[in-house]
């Protein structure tokens, strides 16, 4: 009998379906990442793995499965992260593999396709690509942005959603990791990172 490390045992114990379901309890926005291929043809993919990374420099990331066609187009390419509005479900489905009868409405900003009607758009130049297991992590430096007051399209537990009612409580004026306050200000048992 051979001994196995606790890491190996833990990894073998994680069921991929349960992991996917657990990840699905985190509500996300829905984006379409767009770029233009070397042939000049616009391409896009629906992505809900989007994260703000840094304000200085301004960085954002998307995570794509290695098998996706979009992954090969983003290496060393300018791209846009189109944050979809709640009325753009058909656009999300189009770029997820269920095409609309007509192509989504877009404009070219230089060589980057920008979807019309989005809640917000971040145009990015390549920053870096990282290994993410069966995914790649694409980080872009934001070079231009546009945002509206349109409510976003959300994705939760395998279904598209809309923003609901406000929760009770005090409005949150700034991020918990802002320079003016720490994550654990006022906590009695947790200490701030130092």
DSSP code, position 175: -
- What domain count does the chain have? 1
Instruction: Say if 7 falls within a structural domain.
Output: no
Instruction: Say if 182 falls within a structural domain.
Output: no
CATH number at residue 109: 2.30.110.10
Q: How confident is the model at residue 193 (pLDDT cuts 50, 70, 90)?
A: low
59-65 vs 112-115, strand pairing mode: unpaired
Determine the pLDDT at residue 182. 55
Instruction: Say if 183 falls within a structural domain.
Output: no
Write out pLDDT tens, residues 103-135: 899 999 787 999 999 999 999 999 999 988 888
Element spanning 92, H or E = helix 89-95
SS3 at position 85: strand
Pull the structure tokens for residue 7. 């890491």
SS3 at position 11: helix
Write out pLDDT tens, residues 78-89: 999 999 999 999
CA-CA distance, 54 to 94, in Å (whole number)? 30
Alpha helices in 103-182 (DSSP H): none
Q: Which of 66, 113, 65, 123 is nearest to 91 (CA)?
A: 113
Instruction: Say if 98 falls within a structural domain.
Output: yes
Q: How confident is the model at residue 1 (pLDDT cuts 50, 70, 90)?
A: very low
What is the domain extent for residue 67? 21-162
Determine the pLDDT at residue 76. 86
| Side-chain half-sphere CA neighbours of 135 within 13 A | 12
């Amino acid at each position: 009998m051979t001994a196995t490390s606790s890491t190996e045992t833990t990894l073998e114990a994680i069921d991929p379906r349960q992991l996917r379901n657990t990840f699905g309890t985190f509500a996300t926005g829905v984006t379409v990442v767009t770029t233009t291929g070397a042939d000049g043809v616009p391409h896009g993919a629906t992505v809900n793995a989007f994260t703000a990374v840094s304000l200085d420099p301004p960085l954002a990331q998307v995570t794509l499965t290695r098998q996706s066609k979009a992954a090969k187009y983003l290496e060393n390419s300018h791209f846009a992260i189109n944050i979809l509005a709640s009325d753009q479900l058909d656009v999300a489905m189009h770029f997820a593999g269920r095409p609309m009868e007509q192509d989504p409405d877009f404009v070219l900003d230089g060589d980057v396709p920008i979807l019309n009607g989005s809640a917000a758009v971040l145009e990015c130049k390549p920053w870096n690509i990282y290994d993410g297991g069966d995914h790649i992590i694409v980080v872009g430096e934001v070079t231009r942005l546009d945002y509206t007051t349109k409510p976003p399209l959300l994705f939760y537990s395998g279904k598209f959603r809309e923003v609901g009612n406000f929760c009770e409580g005090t409005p949150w004026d700034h991020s918990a990791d802002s320079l003016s306050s720490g994550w654990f200000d006022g906590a009695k048992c947790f200490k701030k990172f130092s």
